[in-house]
Amino acid sequence: MNINNQWTFNTMGHPMGYVAAFICLGALIAPSALVAAKAELKVIAIDYPPFTTENIEGDNGIAFRLLRQALSDSELRVNPDIYSTARAHKLIRTGHWCASFYPPKEASEQLVNIPLAEQPIKLGLYRKRQEGPFRWDDLRELSGSQVAYLRAVARDGIGLDMTNAGLVIFNVESVRQGLQLLAKGRVDYAFADNVSGAIILNELGLDTNDYQFSQSLFRALPMGIWLNLSCEQALKAHQVLTQRGQGIQ
């Protein structure tokens, strides 16, 4: 009996022969199936191009690109969960999350921020261009002015600072909506950052030279990922990112 006939006899004569044959074949044509699946790291974010977005297939923006790159050799798979600002704010307040590009109210031993890039994101205001620099020494200098600001966080942090300084907040759902109101002359200022603001103005068909971003800033923050260390996947991400020098302990 030749080898081929013997192989035919063994597989056909014994049901387990089929199993053995398929296992061998599977190992040859689909080795990835034998590799353990990566753990899912769910990341909360809002639609805030160019940093986080659900509109760019397979990319999801600069922030997700940096995070995926930093975790590329880890056992974690980044899964974006894009929500409205109000929904993201509510989810973060519950404390039941693993990772987020939307910030919690404050950092703690359990909630930590790991920078993903060296250059900070500058948070300030846009106005229509006027003579002279756009700056303030005291926010109260803008008292009485209307400013477009995100509805979901209007009562906290920067929103509270503006209210206490006498600015009148015009609630909007997105930075884009705020800049549209500024272009139409319905508000005096619009909250934005130094990167996405210019991009959005271009997308709206507006000349960026007609607008000024403030020299005075509310915050200058590193582009980073917030991790809730009570979550197992977040703890793994923290270990990987800090070991690679993405942040500090």
How large is the average pLDDT for residues 124-132?
97
Residue 11, pLDDT above cutoff 50: no
Share above pLDDT 70 across residues of the chain, in percent, rounded to a whole number? 82
Confidence grade of residue 202 (pLDDT, cut at 50, 70, 90): very high
Backbone torsions φ then ψ of 166, nearest 5 degrees: 95, 5
Helices (H), 124-174: 157-164
pLDDT of residue 154: 79
52 DSSP β-pair partners: 48
**Taking all residues of the chain, what is their mean pLDDT, rounded to a whole number?**
84
Decide whether 39-119+222-243 matches 121-220 in CATH topology: yes
Confidence grade of residue 54 (pLDDT, cut at 50, 70, 90): confident
pLDDT of residue 58: 65
203 contacts 197 by C-beta, under 8 angstroms: no
Residue ranges per structural domain of the chain: 39-119+222-243, 121-220
Question: What are 170's two structure tokens?
Answer: 């015009």
Instruction: Report the CATH superfamily, name and number, of domain 121-220.
Output: Periplasmic binding protein-like II (3.40.190.10)
pLDDT of residue 12: 39
How large is the average pLDDT for residues 5-23?
35
More confident residue, 246 or 64: 64
More confident residue, 1 or 206: 206
Rounded to whole angstroms, what are the CA distances from 65 to 56, 205, 244?
A: 11, 27, 16
pLDDT of residue 55: 66
Residue 86, pLDDT above cutoff 80: yes
pLDDT of residue 56: 60
117 contacts 70 by C-beta, under 8 angstroms: no
How large is the average pLDDT for residues 78-90?
93
166 contacts 140 by C-beta, under 8 angstroms: yes
Each residue's pLDDT tens digit, 28-46: 334 444 345 789 999 999 9
Confidence grade of residue 15 (pLDDT, cut at 50, 70, 90): very low
Each residue's pLDDT tens digit, 155-182: 888 999 999 999 999 999 889 999 999 9
Instruction: Report the CATH superfamily, name and number, of domain 39-119+222-243.
Output: Periplasmic binding protein-like II (3.40.190.10)
How large is the average pLDDT for residues 69-80?
94
pLDDT of residue 151: 85
pLDDT of residue 10: 39
